[in-house]
Amino acid sequence: MNMKTSFSLMGMAVVLGFALACGSDPTPPPPAPAVAITIAPITATVRANATQTFTATVTNSTNTGVTWSVQEGATGGTVTSAGLYTAPATAGTYHVVATSLADTSKTATATVTVTPLVGISITPTAVNVATGANQTFTATVTNSTNTAVTWSVQEGATGGTVTSAGVYTAPVTVGTYHVVATSVADTTKTATAAVTVTIPAGARLDYTDPTTGTYRLLKDSSSTATHLVLNIVGQGASNGAGLAFTLNVDSAKAAWAKVVGSDVEFVKNGTTLNLGSAPQAIKGKVAGGSLTAALGQKGTAGSVALNGVLAQVALDLRTGVAGNVTFSAPKIQVLNSDGSIATVALSVGTLTVN
């Protein structure tokens, strides 16, 4: 071996020994892990127009931000920068996508099944029902396995009652009311039926006049089958300047009404007393089945013979339930010519619903 070769081998040995002494590894380091992204939930079922929150998790990067999108565009719904998805109105399968900001080639996708809105209908939708009578309604719920409903009357007890089975009972007062079915699966979904409550066909108020008494309650010739006008009449009565009275009836069968629809009060002047010009000395008040009224001569008119029609009142038929309608505890007071007040008897007849 010549000197030159020996020197080269010795140099290589020195370099190798130095490298080993310093711990150097000729193997290159492994590459950094790739950015990864996941989404949760990975699948979801959402009602049309409803919302669902999605979350995205980015790993292997300090930048954990994402952008959100719907694969099908606006047709498939919308999603906010916070991952709040709003389903479209049309049912179908759509996809919510989260894209990593650290590496836009990395995405995660959730599959969303959008189901139709709950639907509800009611049968019949409009019906006429006699006062006090029953009508059965049915409700049909679609797009839900929960087909239960709750029943109510929009006007409350005034408009009648309805059972959990949809059996409606009309009130005693005629008018238009509304029966409502509400879906239990989605309480924002309701169906409404209009109910026109009418007097039963052929129903009528009949009244038989009393035949005795100085003060009598007599039927007026303007009465109809459902609107009974009654006159308080003095026959052979003494002079007076006014009267006050209270009449009570079964409010389930008949209701106090204005003699004429345009009247202001629930009592109308007869032909005997002079009530003066407006405002006249007359007042009537109804509370349930009770009518209280007063009227009298105005100013210096003085007293008159209380013979003839002193006042008029009226009743409307409320239900077709047959039977007598009792006038309970009728009371009348007369203002005498000397200013004193006398309580006198008022003879009433027989009121019947047929």
Residue 353 — very low, low, confident or very high, per pLDDT cuts 50/70/90?
confident
- For 156, the 3-state DSSP assignment is helix
- Per-residue pLDDT tens digits for 274-283: 888 878 889 9
DSSP state of 347: B
Residue 14 — very low, low, confident or very high, per pLDDT cuts 50/70/90?
very low
Listed ranges 67-76, 217-226, 233-242, 329-338; the one with the highest mean pLDDT: 67-76
**Least confident stretch, 42-56, 63-77, 279-293:** 279-293
Give me the CATH code for the 119-198 domain, please.
2.60.40.1080
Query: Residue 259: left (phi > 0), alpha (psi -120 to 50), or beta?
Result: alpha
Is residue 7 predicted with pLDDT exceeding 50? no
Residue 238 to residues 57, 195, 242, 246, Cα–Cα distance (Å): 101, 52, 12, 21
Residue 230 to residues 212, 220, 264, 292, 320, Cα–Cα distance (Å): 16, 5, 17, 14, 20
Is residue 40 predicted with pLDDT exceeding 70? yes
- Per-residue pLDDT tens digits for 190-203: 999 999 998 777 78
332/1: higher pLDDT: 332
Fold classified for 205-353: Immunoglobulin-like (2.60.40)
Is residue 251 predicted with pLDDT exceeding 90? no
- For 11, the 3-state DSSP assignment is helix
Q: Tell me the DSSP string of 103-143.
A: -TT-EEEEEEEEEPPPEEEEE-SEEEEETT-EEE-EEEEES
List the one residue out of 301, 236, 238, 291 whose CA is nearest residue 268: 291
Percent of the chain with pLDDT over 90: 66
List the one residue out of 291, 208, 292 whose CA is nearest residue 251: 291
Pair type for strands 190-198 and 205-208: unpaired
Ranges of each domain in the chain: 36-115, 119-198, 205-353
Residue 300 — very low, low, confident or very high, per pLDDT cuts 50/70/90?
low
Q: Peptide bond preceding 41: is omega within 30 degrees of 0, i.e. cis?
A: yes
Model pTM greater than 0.75?
Answer: no
Spacing of C-alpha 167 from chain mean position:
18
Q: Which helix (H) or strand (E) holds 3?
A: helix 3-21
324/223: higher pLDDT: 223
Q: How far apart are CA 319 and CA 339, in angstroms?
A: 43
Residue 274 to residues 36, 37, 103, 107, Cα–Cα distance (Å): 99, 96, 99, 95
Give the mean model confidence (pLDDT) for residues 232-246.
91
Percent of the chain with pLDDT over 70: 90
Residue 321 — very low, low, confident or very high, per pLDDT cuts 50/70/90?
low
54/324: higher pLDDT: 54
Domains 36-115 and 205-353 share a fold: yes
Supply the mean pLDDT for the chain.
88
- For 195, the 3-state DSSP assignment is strand
> Which residues, 6+ apart, have CB-to-CB distance to 259 below 8 Å?
229, 267, 268, 312, 313, 314
In this prediction, residue 24 carries a pLDDT of: 52
Query: Residue 266: left (phi > 0), alpha (psi -120 to 50), or beta?
Result: alpha
Q: How far apart are CA 157 and CA 248, in angstroms?
A: 23
Residue 6 — very low, low, confident or very high, per pLDDT cuts 50/70/90?
very low
Q: How far apart are CA 262 and CA 325, in angstroms?
A: 26
**Least confident stretch, 222-231, 241-250, 323-332:** 323-332
For domain 36-115, the question of CATH label 3.40.50.10490 is answered with no
Question: Which residue type sits at 116?
Answer: P
